[in-house]
Amino acid sequence: MDFDAHFKGFLVSTVNLKPWKLDLLDTRVTAITDAFQADTVVGPRYKEHIRQGSWAHLTIMPLLDDPSCPGTSFNHRWDDDEYATFKKKAADYAAWAREAYDLQDADADAALTAWQKMFGPEFAADEVKDARTQVLVNKAVRAVAALGDGANITQTKDVAPQEEFIQNKYGSVQLRYDARIEAALLGNYPKNLRRLRVAPKHRNLRFQLVTDTPEPYDVLWKVRNHGPEASRVAGGLRGKIRHGGSEGRNLHTESTAYRGTHYVEAYVVKNGVVVASDHHDVKII
């Protein structure tokens, strides 16, 4: 998807014949056919002329290298009609991929439908989603185990004066559900923060937690700042865990006050057990 513009160019711009070349070709073909018809011998036998190949499709088939056989191309394996079909199908799949990619962070169900246009209805079937969830659970469990217990955590150097840890608040951490923080840089047109990777100072951010945890459940949020700007301000490093977001249980807003690489975490708690969590880095420049 990073080369989407180049792909569009391959399908549209770079292979299209320029109008002036088509006009020149039409002029020359007309001169030839006029000469045929004016000839006393050939003229009576002339019926019509039919556009063929690149002239008919208004494109020139590009040279596509065959990776399985260095020094050769695919061009000897297809004609202009077959290439035109390939070009249309490739454009269709590219459009579906762009649609699905753009929908991922806004509407997961719509994005799944778009991906299924490409990969079929089996894509992200229940068993596939279950397997993915299990991978996420295993990863999260390993991460929690690597942290150790709360006593060991608080002995590390990278701990803010008032920092809290979820392991100290809840004795049981069983990450069995999926959770994802969707972050946006607010403005006239909100932008996905994961794609931007960085945010400028003095802007507002919105964090929304999406989870498949069945109701009812609670959400706890943690914001942890790093860097010299935050450390020079009393309480600037943050680190406390709050119950619910600033705008509701699953919604939290922040402003970008300090340069540095910070993070936001959200924990889903059900029946006194942490059952899902996510971590979102926030780099402010």
90-135 tens-digit pLDDT: 878 888 888 877 776 667 777 778 788 887 776 765 655 555 555 5
What confidence tier does 233 reach under pLDDT thresholds 50, 70, 90? very high
> Given the DSSP bridges, would you call strands 198-199 and 273-284 parallel, antiparallel or unpaired?
parallel
Task: For Cα atoms 86, 88, 91, give the angle at the middle one, nearest 5 degrees.
Answer: 105
| Average confidence (pLDDT) over 59-82 | 68
Pick the CATH number of 135-284 from 3.30.70, 2.60.40, 1.20.58, 2.30.30: 2.60.40
* pLDDT value at residue 256: 94
In order of 28, 249, 280, the CA distances from 60 in angstroms are: 18, 57, 47
Which residues lie closer than 8 Å to 155 by C-beta, 6 or more apart? none
Nearest to 223 by CA among 269, 261, 195: 261
* pLDDT value at residue 153: 44
**Exposure class string for 213-228: b at 16+ Cβ within 10 A, else e:** beeebebbbbbbbbbe
- Domain residue ranges of the chain, discontinuous segments joined by +: 4-119, 135-284
**pLDDT for residue 146 is more than 50:** no
Residue in this structure with the two tokens 């394996």, named with its chain if needed: 77
CA distance 202 to 187: 12
Higher pLDDT, 130 or 80: 80
Backbone angles phi, psi at 212, to 5 degrees: -100, 15
**Rg of the chain in Å (alpha carbons):** 30
In terms of C-beta density within 10 A (0-12 exposed, 13-18 middle, 19 or more buried), how is residue 116 classed? middle
Average predicted confidence (pLDDT) for the chain = 78
In terms of C-beta density within 10 A (0-12 exposed, 13-18 middle, 19 or more buried), how is residue 144 classed? middle
Alpha-carbon torsion 124, 125, 127, 130, what sign? positive
The helix (run of H) or strand (run of E) holding residue 223 is strand 218-224
- Retrieve residue 108's tokens: 């997961």
**pLDDT for residue 65 is more than 80:** no
Residues 10-46 have pLDDT tens digits of 555 444 555 666 677 778 888 888 888 888 888 888 8
* pLDDT value at residue 6: 53
Query: Is the full-model pTM beyond 0.95?
Result: no
Query: What residues form DSSP beta bridges with 16?
Result: 59
Residues 148-162 have pLDDT tens digits of 444 444 444 578 888
